[in-house]
Amino acid sequence: MTPEPTETELMLKGYGLTTAQMFYHMPDHPHVLNTFIWQDYDLAPDHARLFKFIEYWGQEIDGPLHSVRFSHRKLIAPGEWRNVVGEFTIH
């Protein structure tokens, strides 16, 4: 069995943190909307983990989804590189 990759390993592979806000109808009160926040590391632009969770929601959870808002942010990005031409020596 392969161990789950760590968060750092996922970020180094290009994954970013995806946060989704699900608006759903309460099963007992269909005119009332409630919210649920979901967060996981996912790859843009496909967002396979997010869509897998939305599919799971539709099959297993009684409250039907009204809408989903999400954002995605890479936490590790290429750094800024500068060529240093001179060097100062301090005694």
Least confident range of 19-28, 57-66, 81-90: 81-90
Tell me, what's the pLDDT at 2?
A: 80
Domain ranges in the chain?
A: 7-73
CB 63 within 8 A of CB 26: yes
Whether the predicted pLDDT of 19 surpasses 60: yes
User: pLDDT (tens digit, 9 = 90+) per residue, 29-85?
Assistant: 999 999 999 999 999 999 999 999 999 999 999 999 999 999 999 877 656 556 666
What is the chain's Cα-based Rg? 21
Task: Let me know how long the chain is.
Answer: 91
CB 68 within 8 A of CB 54: yes
Tell me, what's the pLDDT at 89?
A: 57
Task: Give the residue among 78, 82, 75, 80 at the shortest CA–CA distance from 8.
Answer: 75
Instruction: Report the alpha-carbon distance of residue 65 to residue 54 in Å, rounded.
Output: 9
